Structure 1
Amino acid sequence: MSTNILGIGQSALIAAQVGLSTTGHNIANASTPGYNRQLVIQGSAGAQNFGYGFVGQGTQITEIKRVYNDFVSGQVLAAQTSKSALETYSSQINQVDNLLADASAGISPALQDFFSGLQDLSANPNAAASRQATLSSAQSLVARFQSLNDQLSESRAGVNSQISSSVTAINAYAQQIAKLNATISQAQGSGNPPNDLLDQRDQVIAELNKEVKVTVNKEDGGNYNVFIGNGQPLVMGVQVNQLATAPSVTDPERLQVAYQINGNKVVLPEGSLSGGRLSGLFDYRSQTLDPSQNALGRVAIVLATSFNAQHQLGQDQNGAPGGDFFTVATPLITPSSKNPSSAKLAASITNAGALSTSDYTLQYDGSNYKITQLPDGAPVSYATLPQTVDGVTFDLATGSPAMAAGDSFLVRPTINGAAQIDLAIKNPSLIAAAAPIRTAAGPRADGSGNTGSATISSGTVTNKNFSSSAPYTSPVTLSYSAATNKFSGYPAGTTVTLPGSTTAIPYDGTYTAGATISVGSASFVVSGVPADGDTFNIGPNTNGVGDNRNALLLGALQTANTVANGTTSFQGAYSQLVSAVGNKTREINVSSDAETARLDTVTQAQQSESGVNVDEETANLIRYQQAYQAAAKVMQTASTMFDVLLSLGH
């Protein structure tokens, strides 16, 4: 019996030792990421029948159990991958929001300074200082556009860099999972789970899940099969399928994620990689960065185009017609690298006021040209080119061969608008502040002034090619005859738009008060009651260096609705951009905070079940220590009994 007692004591001692070791292991790993606490599961060693009854044989360790809940762990993974995506998006968009809304670094103050300079020029059209100040404020505005665009471009390059970094991390995690699969599969051959290895693998899965959302299937042998995207296998047991980066076929500067199969790269749709840092980067680029850079470019293009158009209707200090004040960007066109033909597409901005902030694809299917507004517009088919969409005219480039079925092009009308805007003039004297025409009432044939009450407006120019149109080569004098109620001196081709009408009609000189009279590319209005013999003159603005009429019209562009089909101004369009980014920033930040709170909640639930509670483990230490001491006492008692038996034999 003493031998039986010794065995029982020994089993109790071993159980207590294992309990102490396991508890110490838990305490040692209380701060280890991904560690799940372990429990010692004991069972009775059975009993032996001695005739008078069954006598117990002690205890045995049946399992060292890892406290792990698949359901709760899945909730943690789901919350973590969503938080990682939103956190990444938030960190990126906050930078853009701060950049665009900055009261000193944004476009708004530069626009205000530029048009303030034009107001000063209007008051002092012949002052060299005012002209130079206007050019300086224009240069500051150009520099501000370019600086903001440069920072957005740097953000775009940063996204590419982070995508590459994330893909590298994903591949490294995949290799670790495959190696752990092999080690765990081998260890489980003993029939017992290698708890610490399982924790390590789950922790690597958690880290991978921060980069891209994963789906895990568990095999009977203990291996994990890991899938990403729309079910693309990343890890299959010990086999790893690598990811890589690849430039977009229509935009070489836009990195995408590709799945490597048999040495070939298959690009994964950005929308398929939901969750994780990759998803946050893709969403930021497509939902915020692209439209923001396009919107900024649109403001620059419409500003430059409309300002140039009005500036060309003016006259500079040399008496010459105004030229381009700004340089204007052209659409960026990139053919797909997979195009079967060498056809070239041309795209030009023919109506800047109708520009949107979208990009477009043009695809040819062999019979029709399909133009799609990105990101999610429906394709519109056209049988022929050219076609104009949102102010952009699409056509085959001059000398280009015909397109072949499968040809595809990406057209980005405004992406370079802010990058390429610049000053087209450097000489202050070339600012066309004056109007190219001058009107006057009188003198009459005898040299005296008009005697009637009729007046003539200062006139406007509607065509920049005014130098080839009468009456700019020499003055034209209109002389009024009371007998016929007509003006003589009208050149051929004169038209008039009568008050209350919108249609210009041929005019024989009959006077109608308030009618808009067009002579060549000039328009003016005679109002009031002219007297017989009164004259009105229209001609070139000779020596008009002190004239500010075109400067006033240029300044009026500040509040004119020239953007988005005449629905808003330059400042309004920029404010819409700032507002859109600000609202999206708040939305992402709120969602990120909510997901962080959800992650904290499910993590606490997981830790309450699987985490190490040091106080509880300390109590376990005391319990196992006492069990160890008691087991030792049992063994000591068995030894004493054995010694007594030996002494009885002598």
Structure 2
Amino acid sequence: MADILSIGANAAQLYKSALATVGNNIANLNTDGYTRQVANSIENTPTAKGSSYIGSGARLVSVTRAFNEFTESNLRDSGSELSAQDPLIQYADRIVDVLGAQNSGLADAFSKFFSSASNLSSDPASTTLRNVFIRDADGLAVRFRELASQLSGIQQETDDALSLQLTSFNELGKQLFSVNEQLKKRATVDVQPPSLLDQRDRIMREMSKIAKIHVTESESGTVSIRLDNAGGTLFVDALNVATLSANFDTDTQGGVEILSDFNGAVGTTSSVTGGELGGILNFRSQILSPAIENLDALAVSTATEINAIQTNGIDATGTRGTNLFDPNVDTLGASGFSLLITEASKIAAAGLARVTANTENAGNAKLDYSDIVSGSAVPDFTLNYSDAAGYTINGAAVTPDASGSFIFGGITFKVSGTPADGDSFSVSQNTNAVGDNKSILAMSRLQNKQVL
């Protein structure tokens, strides 16, 4: 039978434990990952005395954590989403700085190139203007290569960052697996040491900062971890822990695959979202890869358009023009954008053909040409018009399409305006064309064309 002294002694011991728990909470106020603990007590079994029961005090049954799984899960998810924004913003700002800078972006280089082309079109015989054009053409090529190099540098930085984060995530997985091994020694979570559970939760919070995780807790407090959600790749369970790695230089968007090795079974996982890893992967697939692809596409289209004009023109020596920029940009991208011509006389400023309207033409029609099939020689011919036969060349009928265009000798010609009966135009190879500006003028007008 409990007496007042034993009840008081038990109460004093209970209060001592409760105060110790409170003191421990205060002492660990700033301890990372610490969860507030609560001393739980229950009433002792009362003693029956006749028809009554006399209380026998209370006793301490456990010290547990003031823990809510729903709150903890939301905390992990929120931390994961927040961590994903940091690399996305950091690297995106770098892309803006690289591509959008006024003095180091493409806009300034293009402006100088087209300005030089326009100036040269006003005086195509000028050696000085030709040299300025070559200088600015080389400046454009250098700018493409510089931007490609800077984007490649950012890609390498994200390669290193991914590898570093994966190493950290794998190490945390090993730590969590070790904690699971200790938790398996007790049957229920209620009897687990609070500090061990704090360690478990602290590890999972750190993991969620690197990648979003889905947690399943067993009765004993051991946890299974899947990447992203309940259907994601298994990373940690009671028996094994996976190892994640990166496979770079692949054809996948973003140029990287995340591989998971779980007990010898290796496969690609698409479950890595959120956290630092998810932020880096999103940046690579949504911003970096499109930026590199667009820069390469712009380099290809720029070189292709300009080379087409240059090779369809006549240089200062009367020779058909050669490529201004290296056509291997098709395979090398912007990193292979380079100038091939360094001699001023090799700029094909003049047009390949010469079109001359008969001075006695009565109509307002005009004849011009544009596309010339590579290797085609300009044929000498006369285009005649009569009300009875329409357009003819050497007696053969020529029928322009709705836009006024027709192809002859591998060259696309276009008639505009309205001819009068008896009008004619002569076409011949453009010789002694040092003062002609048709080709360089067409090059300068690319500025107003949507090349990409």
TM-score interval (norm. to shorter):
0.7 to 0.9
Matched, 1:468 2:377: yes
Give deviations 1:33-86, integer Å, cap 9, x for gaps.
222111222334455567897665444222212101111112222222222233
**Is the Cα–Cα contact under 8 Å of residues 173 and 204 in structure 1 kept in the other structure?**
yes
Residues 319 and 73 of structure 1: CA distance in aligned 2, closer, same or farther (over 3 Å): same
Structure 2: distance between partners of 1:220 and 1:211: 27
Does 2:6 align with 1:117? no
Match of 1:551 among 407, 418, 440: 440
Q: Is it true that 1:419 corresponds to 2:328 in the alignment?
A: no
Name which of 334, 343, 353 aligns with 1:437: 353
Residue pairs, 1:123-142, within 5 angstroms = 123-142=122-141
After TM superposition, give the deviation of residue 200 of structure 1 in Å.
1.3
Is the Cα contact below 8 Å between 2:187 and 2:219 reproduced in 1?
no
Partner of 2:241: 240
Change in CA separation of 1:520 and 1:151 when aligned onto 2, cut-off 3 Å: closer
Unpaired runs of 5+ residues, structure 1, are 333-415, 443-449, 506-517, 561-568, 574-650
SS at match of 1:240: coil
Q: Provide closer, same or farther for how the CA distance between residues 486 and 253 of structure 1 changes in structure 2, counting only shifts above 3 A.
A: closer
- Deviation, 1:175, is 1.0
Q: Which residue of 1 aligns with 2:79?
A: 80
Q: Secondary structure at the match of 2:214?
A: strand
Distance 1:486 1:274 in 2: 68
Are 1:540 and 2:429 matched, yes or no? yes
Partner of 1:589: none
What displacement does 1:107 show? Answer: 1.6
Structure 2: tracts of 5 or more residues without a match: none
Cα offset, 1:539, TM superposition: 3.5
For CA contacts below 8 A with separation 6 or more, give which structure has more relative contact order: 1
Letter in structure 2 aligned against 1:158: E
Q: 1:468 to 1:306 in 2, by over 3 A?
A: same
Q: CA deviation at 1:278?
A: 2.3
* 2:268 alignment counterpart: 267
Partner of 2:200: 201
Letter of the structure 2 residue corresponding to residue 115 of structure 1: F
Structure 2 partner of 1:214? 213
Equivalent residues of 2:99, 2:105 under 8 A apart: yes
The 1:331/1:220 distance shift into structure 2, 3 A limit, reads: farther
CA displacement 1:226-250 (0-9 Å, x = unmatched)? 2225343222225322223334665
Pair 452,13 (structure 1): closer, same or farther in 2 beyond 3 Å: closer
The residue number in structure 2 matching 1:156 is: 155
Q: Give the corresponding residue for 1:182.
A: 181
With over 3 angstroms needed to count, the CA separation of the structure-2 counterparts of 1:292 and 1:465, relative to structure 1, is closer
Q: Return closer, same or farther for 1:500/1:426 CA change in 2, 3 Å cut-off.
A: same
> Shift of residue 87 of structure 1?
3.4
Q: Distance in 2 between matches of 1:307 and 1:459?
A: 19
What is the aligned length?
Answer: 448
Q: Distance in 2 between matches of 1:12 and 1:210?
A: 45
Matched letter for residue 72 of structure 1:
T
CA gap 1:121/1:437 in 2 versus in 1, 3 angstroms: same
Compared CA separation, residues 470 and 24, structure 1 to 2 (3 A): same
2-structure distance, mates of 1:135, 1:14: 93
Following the alignment from structure 1 to structure 2, what is the Cα–Cα distance between the partners of residues 427 and 200?
Answer: 71
Partners of 1:435 and 1:460 within 8 A in 2: no
Indicate the SS of the match to 1:40.
strand
Aligned counterparts, 1:619-638, within 5 A: none
One-letter amino acid matched to 1:555? S
Cα offset, 1:189, TM superposition? 8.1
Alpha-carbon offset, residue 274 of structure 1? 2.9
Q: Could you tell me how far 1:208 is from its partner in structure 2?
A: 0.8
CA distance in 1, matches of 2:298, 2:290: 12
Query: How big is the shift at 1:304?
Result: 1.1
**Deviations 1:590-646 (CA, angstroms, capped at 9, x unpaired):** xxxxxxxxxxxxxxxxxxxxxxxxxxxxxxxxxxxxxxxxxxxxxxxxxxxxxxxxx
1:547-597 Cα offsets, whole Å, 9 max, x none, are 22211111111112xxxxxxxx13xx5xxxxxxxxxxxxxxxxxxxxxxxx
User: Judging changes above 3 Å, is the alpha-carbon distance between structure 1 residues 71 and 537 closer, same or farther for their aligned structure 2 residues?
Assistant: closer
Kindly provide the CA deviation profile for residues 188-233 of structure 1, in whole angstroms up to 9, marking residues without a partner as x: 7897331121111111111111222222222222211222253432
Q: TM-score, normalised by structure 2?
A: 0.84
Is the 8 Å Cα contact of residues 216 and 225 (structure 1) preserved in structure 2? yes
Q: Distance in 2 between matches of 1:251 and 1:485?
A: 60
Secondary structure of 1:197's partner?
A: helix
Q: Distance in 2 between matches of 1:524 and 1:51?
A: 121
Residue 578 of structure 1 aligns with which residue?
A: none
Equivalent residues in 2 for 1:392-541 (5 A)? 416-440=332-356, 459-460=368-369, 462-463=371-372, 468-471=377-380, 492=394, 496-497=398-399, 502=404, 504=406, 521=411, 523=413, 538-541=427-430
The alignment's TM-score, normalised by the length of structure 1, stands at 0.60
Structure number with greater Rg is 1
Q: Aligned partners of 1:485 and 1:250: how far apart in 2? A: 58
The amino acid that maps onto 1:12 is: A
Seen in structure 2, the aligned counterparts of structure 1 residues 498 and 213 have a Cα distance that, compared at 3 Å, is closer
Whether contact under 8 Å (1:327, 1:423) holds in the other structure is yes
Q: Give the counterpart letter for 1:244 in structure 2.
A: S
Structure 1 residues 88, 519: CA separation in 2 closer, same or farther (over 3 Å shift)? closer
CA contact (8 A) 1:440 1:456 kept: no
**Cα distance between partner residues in 2 of 1:237 and 1:172:** 16
Hey, what's the Cα distance between the residues in 2 that align with 1:247 and 1:501?
50
> 2:438 is aligned with what amino acid?
R
* Residue 258 (1) aligns with residue 174 (2): no
| 1:321 positional shift | 0.7
Preserved contact between residue 120 and residue 130 of structure 2 (Cα < 8 Å): yes
After TM superposition, give the deviation of residue 91 of structure 1 in Å.
2.6
Structure 1 segment 298-377 matched on structure 2, within 5 A? 298-329=297-328
- Say which SS state the counterpart of residue 327 (structure 1) adopts: coil
Quote how far apart the aligned CAs of 1:309 are.
1.0
| Deviation of the 1:317 alpha carbon | 0.7
Q: Does the Cα contact within 8 Å between 1:438 and 1:541 map onto a contact in 2? A: yes
Aligned CA RMSD, in angstroms, stands at: 3.9
